Amino acid sequence: MTIPMPQASWRLEFGSRPVDGGIVFRTWAPLASRLAVRIIGDGLFPMEREDDEIFRVLVPQRAAGVDYLYVIDEAKERPDPVSRRQPDGVHGPSRVVDPGAFDWGDHEWHGLALEEYVIYELHVGTFTAAGTFAATIEKLGYLRDFGVNAVELMPVAEFPGARNWGYDGVYPYAPHSAYGGPAGLKTLVDACHRQGLAVILDVVYNHLGPEGNYLADFAPYFTNRYLTPWGDAINFDGPFSDGVRRYFVDNALHWLTEYHIDALRLDAIHGIFDSGARHILREIGETFHAVAQSLERRAHVIAESDLNDVRVINPLEAGGHGLDAQWNDDFHHALHTVLTGAREGYFTDFGRVADLCKALRDGFVYDGRYSIFRRRRHGNSSAGRAGRQFVVFTQNHDQVANTTAGERLSDLVPAEAQKLAAMVLVCAPDVPMLFMGQEFAATTPFLYFTSFIDADLAQAVSEGRKREYEGFLRDRPFSDPQSFETYARSHLNWNEPQDPRHAAILDFHRSLLALRRRHPCLANCRKDLTRAECDETQGWMTVERADPSGCAALLLCNFRGDARSLSLPRGGRSWRLALWNGDPRYGGPAQAANPPAILDRNDRAVALGGFGAALYLTDNCR
């Protein structure tokens, strides 16, 4: 089977599609001898072979909205692997959707450059009380006004039940029905674009969930040649892998074209195995970029990877996979351990201010050095890669739920330390990402939750989750992922931003992000124009950010709980204070001593209170 390169007029050719005179059903099923479509309440329609692996049929005088199942070899009835909608869940029939029926209003939207992104990660089901795409739209003005411009949605592909993080999805083309289905997601994306917000979608190409996963009945989508935490790996390089690769490449293009998604975040690519000459990650990136370019849109592919392998983001001409960026866990671990003292699990490799300095200067902290946690050397150098290729964060869904039993950074450190962390994040020469609620120090936890229908599977997930994270849990209570209470507790409390204590943190983030937006030295993602110095014994760090415009910034950080004197970097500049985390306007203690409003070029040191941070700018920053 030959797989053509996508063209400017690319469209999804598999699944069901209304056409003049009826509905075309087309599927890849090399394991089937015979295939038919059963339209619910209508009849059975045998499919013809288009070639040795593809079946097709035109069912006349039918339109979008009908439900159907495929019948394999007159024995198994299964939903469509390329279903665009599963209205009755993962075990029910698929529904025909007209991909061209939505009336888009984002015709003037062409996307944002990656270095412009300020990302806000959210889980649709717990971001609002209603937990829907429509309810998320009601909060877009709030997100825009406090300073983010890119909304990252945790996976929305149809999963079992109504409660799930989304990583157990089994219909990669179908937005979850409980959230609002295809029309709901398109309406959300359209609304984001109208408000100047890009949309990143988290997609899972390393596995499918265990319940409702019927792909293996159609084709060899999985292989036991590789071991993954989720069982058999996706078959990207074995027999019949051409069709498997097309399935996932098509999925990426499906989100880009039918849903106008601006960027994909590829989950856990260290669980993707491909020994072929053209790695599947390269193929996804190349085709995604080609179609985006043909549409005159800026669109990006961002990886999650624990490999610390710069080949993921190296350009194609340098032998890399050519992805645009990747999450940098090392930044999180370095900052988290310095502030909290955490040393469980993989945190044992961190805990030094010097690690944070290295993350700011280079990207990867572990770039070939020995990892105590892994008991081997880990990673390679990313020093030569641009800052826009690293997404950094102080919290995300994994780090909140998996390492602190749902506790947020605001539960672990005092308010000044939270604001210190925010200043390091936003002033880093990278792409910053916030996790929903951290901007107002939400007190609600974010826990792992599921709603599997299969009772045995549900019990196994609960028991396995408890075993997997007992090293992090210590004396924290265990929250059963199958419990509705676990899900309910994870919803944000939108009364909190009106509380004075939370409003002060929110105002601080608003002011901090406004500074980043206004001054190019904070937003240019230029690692080569960044200088970070630290004193491990005294626990302080200074970060200088420069820009060709001449505007420069100086961030002073005290990571200790008591007052410290910080040595200023040499260079003969004068600086004026732009933001201080102890300012009473942002909830700082009234008796706190202000850092100097002006730093003279002859000053050599500055005193900061416990967990103090101060951001200075040069006079030519306007």
Pairing type for strands 376-378 and 540-546 reads unpaired
Question: Using an 8 Å Cβ cutoff, are 403 and 373 in contact?
Answer: no
- pLDDT at 45 (0 to 100): 98
Residue 138 has pLDDT above 80, yes or no: yes
Share of the chain above pLDDT 90, in %: 89
Residues 540, 425 within the same domain: no
Residues 344, 490 within the same domain: yes
Q: Which own/partner pairs from 498-503 qualify as long-range (CB within 8 Å, at least 24 positions apart)?
A: 500/587, 501/415, 501/441, 501/587, 502/440, 502/441, 502/442, 503/440
pLDDT band at 607 (very low <50, low <70, confident <90, very high): very high
pLDDT band at 472 (very low <50, low <70, confident <90, very high): low
Q: For the chain, what is the domain count? A: 2
Look at 479 and 498; give whichever has higher pLDDT.
498
- pLDDT at 86 (0 to 100): 98
pLDDT band at 591 (very low <50, low <70, confident <90, very high): confident
User: Helix or strand or coil: residue 294?
Assistant: helix
Task: State which of 505, 539, 573 marks the end of a domain.
Answer: 505
Q: Where are the alpha helices (DSSP H) in 474-616?
A: 484-489, 500-518, 520-523
CA dihedral 307, 246, 255, 269 (to 10 degrees): -10
Q: Which residues lie closer than 8 Å to 597 by C-beta, 6 or more apart? A: 576, 577
Look at 463 and 112; give whichever has higher pLDDT.
112
Look at 468 and 105; give whichever has higher pLDDT.
105
Residue 485 has pLDDT above 50, yes or no: yes
User: Helix or strand or coil: residue 381?
Assistant: coil
End-to-end Cα, the chain, rounded Å:
59
Estimate to the nearest angstrom the gap between the alpha carbon of 310 and the chain centroid: 19
Torsion sign, CA atoms 97, 100, 104, 108? positive
SS in 3 state form for 302-347?
A: EECCCCCCHHHCCCHHHCCCCCCEEECHHHHHHHHHHHHCCCCHHH
Residues 312, 421 within the same domain: yes
In a domain, 67, yes or no: no
Residue 320 has pLDDT above 70, yes or no: yes
Estimate to the nearest angstrom the gap between the alpha carbon of 432 and the chain centroid: 12
**Phi and psi at residue 79, in whole multiples of 5°?**
-65, 165
Question: Using an 8 Å Cβ cutoff, are 386 and 113 in contact?
Answer: no
CA dihedral 50, 51, 53, 54 (to 10 degrees): -20
Estimate to the nearest angstrom the gap between the alpha carbon of 152 and the chain centroid: 6
In a domain, 33, yes or no: no
Residues 314, 275 within the same domain: yes
Residues 600, 480 within the same domain: no
- Say which CATH number the domain at 376 has: 3.20.20.80
- Using CB atoms within 10 Å of the CB of residue 165, give its burial: 0 to 12 exposed, 13 to 18 middle, 19+ buried: buried
* Mean model confidence pLDDT for the chain: 94
Residues 265, 412 within the same domain: yes
Task: State which of 505, 520, 545 marks the end of a domain.
Answer: 505
Residue 332 has pLDDT above 70, yes or no: yes
- pLDDT at 566 (0 to 100): 93
- pLDDT at 467 (0 to 100): 73
Kindly report, residue by residue over 368-404, the tens digit of the pLDDT: 999 999 999 999 999 999 999 999 999 999 999 987 7
Residues 500, 534 within the same domain: no
Residues 473, 607 within the same domain: no
- pLDDT at 187 (0 to 100): 98
pLDDT band at 7 (very low <50, low <70, confident <90, very high): very low
Active site residues: 267, 304
Nearest to 113 by CA among 151, 137, 146, 149: 149
Kindly report, residue by residue over 527-551, the tens digit of the pLDDT: 999 999 999 999 999 999 999 999 9
Q: What is the CA radius of gyration of the chain?
A: 25
* d(C-alpha 193, C-alpha 190), whole Å: 5
Residues 229, 278 within the same domain: yes
* d(C-alpha 145, C-alpha 601), whole Å: 36
Which domain does 279 fall in, by range?
A: 114-505
Tokens coding 441:
């120090």
The number of beta carbons lying within 10 Å of the beta carbon of residue 477 is 7
Residues 470, 598 within the same domain: no
State which amino acid sits at residue 95.
R
- Using CB atoms within 10 Å of the CB of residue 307, give its burial: 0 to 12 exposed, 13 to 18 middle, 19+ buried: middle
* d(C-alpha 374, C-alpha 386), whole Å: 27
| 345 half-sphere exposure, CB direction, 13 A CA radius | 13
Residue 260 has pLDDT above 50, yes or no: yes
pLDDT band at 157 (very low <50, low <70, confident <90, very high): very high
Residues 447, 569 within the same domain: no
Nearest to 352 by CA among 367, 338, 366, 368: 338
Kindly report, residue by residue over 32-72, the tens digit of the pLDDT: 999 999 999 999 999 999 999 999 999 999 999 999 999 99
In a domain, 498, yes or no: yes
Nearest to 137 by CA among 84, 195, 83: 195
Tokens coding 193:
């674009």
- pLDDT at 3 (0 to 100): 45
State which amino acid sits at residue 310.
V
The number of beta carbons lying within 10 Å of the beta carbon of residue 593 is 11
Kindly report, residue by residue over 396-440, the tens digit of the pLDDT: 999 999 877 889 999 999 999 999 999 999 999 999 999 999 999
State which amino acid sits at residue 151.
V
In a domain, 96, yes or no: no
In a domain, 297, yes or no: yes
Q: pTM value? A: 0.96
User: Helix or strand or coil: residue 530?
Assistant: strand
In a domain, 250, yes or no: yes
- pLDDT at 262 (0 to 100): 98
- Say which CATH number the domain at 598 has: 2.60.40.1180
Residue 290 has pLDDT above 80, yes or no: yes
In a domain, 53, yes or no: no
In a domain, 469, yes or no: yes
* d(C-alpha 413, C-alpha 340), whole Å: 7
pLDDT band at 469 (very low <50, low <70, confident <90, very high): low
* d(C-alpha 192, C-alpha 259), whole Å: 12
Nearest to 589 by CA among 610, 619, 558, 618: 610
* d(C-alpha 44, C-alpha 27), whole Å: 16
Kindly report, residue by residue over 486-509, the tens digit of the pLDDT: 999 999 999 999 999 999 999 999
Residues 501, 543 within the same domain: no
Share of the chain above pLDDT 70, in %: 97
